[in-house]
């Protein structure tokens, strides 16, 4: 087990390294204008542009530039080309917001998906099942920025039921915090609810026909006990795995659209703004941040899986 974990950690480091190299080189190879000229702002002189070029080392070869940039990532000295504000601080400022959104939405989608999936499976083939199937497929088909914008305007502003976007810290007012996040949570969760309830339904239907379930029924356990103790428990394993992966993916970029629509100013929105301006340092940092969450959750899921199923360790 220990060796497996170590191998998995090495893999993590390798992937992160590859992501950083690729991101860096992509943005230095493709044409996007001279960063020194862009940083110099309105009507600069040639001397200024030269000075910036020297200070930032834009004349060095790419490998040296990459090393300089990565050093700055680790020492926290990385600053935006445009605003000269430290990138690390901006990410830390956005992190509670992104995590508030992602964690809340993850809990919401898991909870609702279990209810939907269970009910759907128990009524398999009946009207309720078909109805929920269609609802789930609609959920999968809704672009989050579209439904989010509609919700924000019609439910938030027009009807006045919810705040029209924005964020309040949890420490300041937990109720207001949740109140501000209800719409974003819902918008983000819709897609996953649709998907998870479908997966759970088919897992349950698979499990129902397993021998041990029949045995449990034969033992005279009530349908409810069978469902919860045997069927649901075993159908949940792949779902929890997915949950881990998706949580990583949402923190690592999936929340961009939701944050932008609801103006939550988390890490995702920061990334979206930096990317629009091709501001390389924040793009690199947010990409690494995102990749880190994706890779980390992947590793955790793998390790937990290996713990549950020793065969995997040998692969």
Partner 1 sequence: MGMLGRRALVLLVAALSMLVIAACGGDDDSSSGSSGSSGGTKEGGSITISQTSQPDYLDPALSYTVNGWEPLSTVYSGLIGYKRANGQAGSELIPVLAQDMPKVSSDGTTYELTLRKGLKYSDGSPVKASDFEHSIQRVLNLESGGSAFFLGIKGAEDYVKNGKPEADIPGIETDDATGKITITLNGPDGTFSNVLAMPFATLVKGDAPFKNLTKDPPPGVGQYKITQSVPNRQFVMEKNKNWPTDIPDDPPAKIDKITTLIVKNAQKQAQDVISGKLDYMQDPPPADIKPEVKAKYSDRYREVVTASTYYMFMNTRVPPFDDPKVREAVNWGIDKPGLARLFAGEVTPGCSFLPPGMPGYDENLDTSGCPWGDPNKPPDLEKARQMIKDAGVDGMDVTVYGNNDDPTDKVTEAYADMLNKMGFNAKPKILDGGVYFQTIGNQKTKAQTGFANWFQDFPHPKNFMFLVDGASIQETNNQNFGNVDDPEITKGIAELNKEPEITSEVADKWKDLNNKLVERAWIVPYGHRKLATFFSERMDFDNCSNFSPVWNNDYTSWCLK
Partner 2 sequence: MATEPATETTLQGPAAWEAEAEREHVHGLGPWRLGLRRLKRNKVALLFGALFVVLVLSCIAAPLWADKVAKTTVNANHLSDTITVDGKEKNVVGLDGVPIGPQWLKADGKFFLGADRNGRDIMVRLLYGGRNSLVIGVVAALITTALSIFLGLISGYFRGPTDTVIRALLDVMWSFPVIILGVALGVAFALGGLKIGPLHLAGDSLLIPIFIIGFVYVPYMARPVRGQVLSLREKEFVEAARAQGAGPFRIMFTEVMPNLASTVIVFFTLLIANAILLESALSFLGAGVQPPNPSWGTMIDEGVDRIATAPHLTIVPGLMLVLTVLALNVFGDGVRDALDPRAKVRLER
Chain contacts with partner 1 (rule: CB under 8 A): 32-34, 37-38, 40-45, 47-49, 51-52, 82-85, 89-90, 92-93, 95-97, 99-100, 103-104, 106-107, 153, 157, 163-172, 176-177, 180, 228, 232-234, 236-237, 240, 263, 265, 269-270, 276-279
Pick from partner 1, partner 2, none: which does 30 bind, CB < 5 to 8 A by kind?
partner 2
Q: Coil, strand or helix: which one is 79?
A: strand
Stretch binding partner 2 (CB under 8 A), from 15-23, 92-100, 161-169, 305-313: 15-23
The first and second tokens of residue 68, run together, are: 């300089």
Q: Write out the DSSP string of 228-262.
A: IIIIIHHHHHHHHHHHHHHHHHIIIIITHHHHHHH
Largest CA distance in the chain: 87
Please, which residue, 137 or 228, has the CB nearer to partner 2? 137
Residues 57-96 that bind partner 2 (CB under 8 A): none
Residue 206 CB, nearest approach to partner 2 (Å): 6
Does position 160 bind partner 2 by CB under 8 A? no
From the CB of 164, what's the least distance to partner 1, in Å?
5
Q: H helices within 142-173, ranges in order?
A: 144-150
Q: Which of residues 223-262 bind partner 2 (CB under 8 A)?
A: 238, 242, 246, 249, 252-254, 256-257, 260-261
Using left for φ > 0, alpha for ψ between -120 and 50, and beta otherwise, residue 74 falls in alpha
Q: Which of 245, 131, 110, 90 is nearest to 185 (CA)?
A: 110
Q: Which phi and psi (to 5°) does residue 164 adopt?
A: -90, 60
CB of 63 to partner 1, least distance (A): 26
Assigned token pair, 178: 């949740």
Rounded to 5 degrees, what angle do the CA atoms 129, 135, 136 make?
85
**Chain position carrying tokens 């995102």:** 290
Place of tokens 């940039």: 69
Residues of this chain that interact with partner 2 (CB under 8 A) are 11, 14-16, 18-19, 22-23, 26-27, 30-33, 124-125, 130, 134, 137-138, 140-146, 149-150, 153, 191-192, 195, 199, 201-202, 205-206, 208-209, 214, 217-218, 238, 242, 246, 249, 252-254, 256-257, 260-261, 271-272, 275-276, 278, 283, 286-287, 290-291, 294-295, 298
């Amino acid at each position: 087990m220990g060796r497996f974990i170590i191998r998995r950690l090495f893999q993590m480091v390798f992937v992160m390294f590859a992501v950083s190299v690729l991101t860096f080189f992509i943005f230095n190879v493709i044409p996007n204008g001279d960063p020194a000229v862009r940083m110099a702002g309105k009507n600069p002189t040639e001397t200024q542009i030269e000075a910036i070029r020297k200070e930032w080392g834009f004349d060095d070869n790419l490998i040296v530039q990459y090393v300089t940039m990565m050093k700055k990532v680790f020492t926290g000295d990385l600053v935006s080309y445009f605003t000269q504000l430290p990138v690390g601080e901006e990410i830390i400022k956005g992190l509670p917001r992104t995590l508030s959104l992602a964690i809340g939405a993850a809990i919401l989608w898991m909870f609702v998906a279990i209810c939907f999936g269970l009910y759907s499976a128990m009524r398999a083939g009946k009207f309720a099942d078909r109805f929920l199937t269609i609802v789930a497929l609609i959920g999968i088909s809704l672009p989050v920025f579209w439904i989010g914008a509609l919700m924000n305007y019609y439910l938030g502003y027009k009807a006045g039921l919810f705040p029209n976007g924005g964020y309040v810290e949890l420490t300041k007012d937990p109720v207001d915090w949740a109140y501000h996040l209800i719409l974003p949570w819902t918008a983000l969760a819709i897609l996953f609810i649709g998907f998870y309830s479908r997966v759970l339904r088919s897992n349950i239907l698979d499990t129902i026909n397993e021998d041990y379930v029949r045995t449990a029924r034969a033992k005279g356990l009530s349908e409810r006990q069978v469902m919860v103790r045997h069927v649901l428990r075993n159908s949940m394993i792949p779902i929890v795995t997915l949950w881990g992966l998706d949580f990583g993916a949402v923190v690592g970029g999936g929340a961009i659209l939701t944050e932008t629509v609801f103006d939550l100013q988390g890490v995702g929105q920061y990334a979206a703004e930096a990317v629009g301006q091709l501001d390389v340092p924040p793009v690199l940092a947010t990409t690494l941040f995102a990749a880190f969450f994706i890779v980390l959750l992947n590793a955790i899921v793998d390790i937990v899986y290996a713990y549950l199923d020793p065969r995997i360790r040998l692969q």
